[in-house]
């Protein structure tokens, strides 16, 4: 008997670990689950109109995501200085205007610089502008020798010539397949990007990036309900928008915030927390993004908190293997974007991000759009691959893998032009 209990004690952590590792990839293994009601307040009041959504329920939902999922921002910090460090009226062979702008933040004797790369169409005004982060530096989005190189920490990628966490000339344009800059410009839209590591390097270290600027003397990491990296990145997007409001070349009321994968999670949180973003686009954002957590399909809460302990606030760990205890699910994140245009996209081979969970989330956010007299997502069943469902809430599942491709962008450009022009 004694040995039995000792074996049990030894085996429990192994079993728990296995629970974290085993991913559901088959629809038949999805557990039965019940989603929290987006339109019932904490006091049990049924929310029937825009007024009570905006006054009662929306603030409740936002606060639950702040306290339990992404973490709240521990204070206010405005741009101390913005400097246009490059301006070219004839970029990309003359079709675009290029600008590079450094935003400087100062607090508690610490300073952080964040650099925005902007391409604008010429000869038109008040055009939609896509704003999104990139993974490996602004210079990777297109082969343009004028793009300045970031000095921030970058994840090593020897294939891109990135070693010792520093980028080099070799990585110019390596991510151009994800950024069809010329097509965007020719369509009459603008595009702006920031290297996400300028705001917060993507590693489990709260001693770098924006977080330390907010610490008091005794602090070395955020409190349990304070911002992880995703909230920090989302904060950075809002500061870019602050800058756009001061730039006469840009119509800051027409900014579509966009992101792929972890940066899709970021775009959604930015859109939820900052209602100045006119539209939000989530590309393969998955767990902690558009996908419903309670389905436990692909990446789970426990898995994401284990692999990326710095992305969410510490409180989110409470829900590892306990998704049913979450006071929210991700359809409520999408609902926070209402009534603004929202595009959610998945890919057929991207099971890790749970395409069906992303679709269902968009569907279950739609009742909030309906309060505003809008249809929401104009579909109740998941569409076939490569057959976008187009509405104020749009959705597609592209054939292929986890990526953001020319096909995805073609849909987003059409969407932005229709919704924002």
Q: How many residues bind ligand GTR (CB under 6 A)?
A: 7
202: contact with ligand GTR by CB under 6 A = no
- Comparison of 119 and 312: residue with beta carbon closer to ligand GTR: 312
From 180, 228, 286, 388, residue interacting with ligand GTR (rule: CB under 6 A): 286
Neighbours of 195 (CB within 10 A): 25
From 67, 115, 251, 299, residue interacting with ligand GTR (rule: CB under 6 A): 299
The CA distances from residue 31 to 45, 300, 350, in Å, are: 28, 13, 20
Contact in structure between 282 and 362 (CB atoms under 8 Å):
no
From 134, 171, 193, 261, residue interacting with ligand GTR (rule: CB under 6 A): 261
From 262, 295, 296, 398, residue interacting with ligand GTR (rule: CB under 6 A): 262
Catalytic residue at 293?
A: no
Q: Report, in Å, the least distance between residue 21 CB and ligand GTR.
A: 13
CA separation for the pair 292, 27 (Å, rounded): 13
Q: What is the 3-state secondary structure (H, E, C) of the chain?
A: CHHHHHHHHHHHHHHHHHHHHCCECCHHHCCCCCCCCCCECCCCCECCCHHHHHHHHHHHHHHHHHHHHHCECCCCCCCCEEEEEEEEEEEHHHCEEEEEEEEEEEECCEEEEEEEEEEEECCCCCCCEEEEEECCCHHHCCCCCCCCCCCCCCCCEHHHCEECCECCHHHCCCCHHHCCHHHHHHCCCEEEEEEHHHHCCCCCCCCCCCHHHHCCCCCCCCCCCECCHHHHHHHHHHHHHHHHCCCCCCCHHHEEEEEECHHHHHHHHHHHHCCCCCEEEEECCCCCCCCCHHHCECCCHHHHHHHCCCCCCHHHHHHCCCHHHCCCCHHHHHHCCCCCCEEEEEECCCHHHCHHHHHHHHHHHHHHHHHCCCCCCCCCCCCCCCCCECCCEEEEEECCCCCCCHHHHHHHHHHHHHHHC
Q: Report, in Å, the least distance between residue 398 CB and ligand GTR.
A: 16
- Comparison of 132 and 286: residue with beta carbon closer to ligand GTR: 286
Which one from 261, 282, 293, 394 is the annotated catalytic residue? 261
- Comparison of 142 and 404: residue with beta carbon closer to ligand GTR: 404
Catalytic residue at 396?
A: no
Q: Report, in Å, the least distance between residue 310 CB and ligand GTR.
A: 13
- Comparison of 222 and 286: residue with beta carbon closer to ligand GTR: 286
365: contact with ligand GTR by CB under 6 A = no
- Comparison of 190 and 298: residue with beta carbon closer to ligand GTR: 298
287: contact with ligand GTR by CB under 6 A = yes
Nearest Cα residue to 240 out of 250, 229, 225, 228: 250
Residues 152-181, mask of contacts with ligand GTR (x by CB under 6 A): ------------------------------
Which one from 41, 52, 187, 402 is the annotated catalytic residue? 402
Q: Report, in Å, the least distance between residue 99 CB and ligand GTR.
A: 27
Q: Report, in Å, the least distance between residue 265 CB and ligand GTR.
A: 7
Q: Report, in Å, the least distance between residue 262 CB and ligand GTR.
A: 3
- Comparison of 271 and 286: residue with beta carbon closer to ligand GTR: 286
| Residue nearest to ligand GTR as judged by C-beta position | 261
Q: Report, in Å, the least distance between residue 273 CB and ligand GTR.
A: 19
Q: Return the range that interacts with ligand GTR (CB under 6 A); candidates 299-307, 342-350, 364-372, 391-399.
A: 299-307
- Comparison of 262 and 340: residue with beta carbon closer to ligand GTR: 262
Residues in the site for ligand GTR, rule: CB under 6 A? 261-262, 286-287, 299, 304, 307
Catalytic center residues: 261, 402
């Amino acid at each position: 008997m004694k040995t039995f209990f000792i074996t049990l004690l030894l085996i429990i952590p192994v079993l728990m670990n296995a629970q974290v590792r085993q991913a559901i990839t088959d629809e038949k293994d999805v557990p039965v689950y019940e989603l929290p009601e987006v339109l019932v307040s904490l006091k049990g009041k049924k929310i029937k109109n825009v007024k009570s959504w905006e006054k009662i329920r929306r603030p409740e939902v936002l606060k639950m995501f702040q306290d339990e999922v992404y973490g709240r921002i521990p204070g206010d910090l405005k741009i101390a200085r913005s400097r246009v460090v490059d301006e070219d009226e004839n970029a990309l062979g003359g079709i675009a205007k290029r600008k590079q702008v450094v935003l400087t933040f100062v607090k508690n004797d610490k300073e952080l610089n964040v650099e925005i790369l902007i391409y604008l169409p010429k000869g038109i005004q008040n055009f939609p502008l896509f704003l999104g982060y990139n993974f490996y530096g602004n210079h990777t989005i297109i082969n343009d020798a004028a793009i300045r190189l970031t000095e921030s920490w970058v994840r090593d990628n020897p294939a891109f010539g990135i070693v010792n966490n520093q980028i080099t000339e070799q990585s110019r344009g390596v991510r151009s397949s994800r950024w069809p800059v010329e097509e965007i410009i020719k369509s009459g839209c603008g595009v702006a990007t920031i290297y996400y590591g300028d705001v917060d390097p993507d590693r489990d270290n709260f001693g770098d990036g924006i977080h330390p600027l907010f610490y008091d003397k005794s602090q070395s990491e955020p409190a349990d309900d304070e911002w992880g990296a995703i909230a920090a990145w989302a904060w950075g997007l809002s500061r870019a928008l602050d800058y756009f409001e001061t730039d006469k070349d840009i119509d800051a009321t027409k900014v579509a915030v966009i992101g792929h994968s972890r940066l899709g999670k970021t775009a959604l949180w930015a859109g939820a927390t900052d209602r100045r973003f006119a539209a939000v686009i989530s590309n393969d954002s998955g767990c902690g993004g558009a996908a419903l957590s309670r389905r436990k399909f692909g990446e789970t809460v426990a898995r994401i908190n284990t692999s990326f302990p710095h992305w969410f606030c510490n409180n989110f760990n409470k829900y590892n293997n306990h998704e049913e205890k979450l006071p929210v699910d991700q359809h409520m994140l999408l609902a926070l974007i209402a009534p603004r245009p929202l595009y959610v996209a998945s890919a057929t081979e991207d099971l890790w991000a749970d395409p069906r969970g992303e679709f269902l989330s968009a569907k279950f956010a739609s009742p909030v759009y309906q309060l505003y007299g809008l249809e929401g997502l104009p579909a109740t069943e998941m569409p076939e691959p490569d057959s976008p469902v187009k509405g104020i809430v749009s959705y597609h599942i592209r054939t292929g893998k986890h990526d953001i491709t020319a096909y995805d962008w073609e849909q987003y450009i059409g969407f932005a032009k229709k919704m924002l022009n």
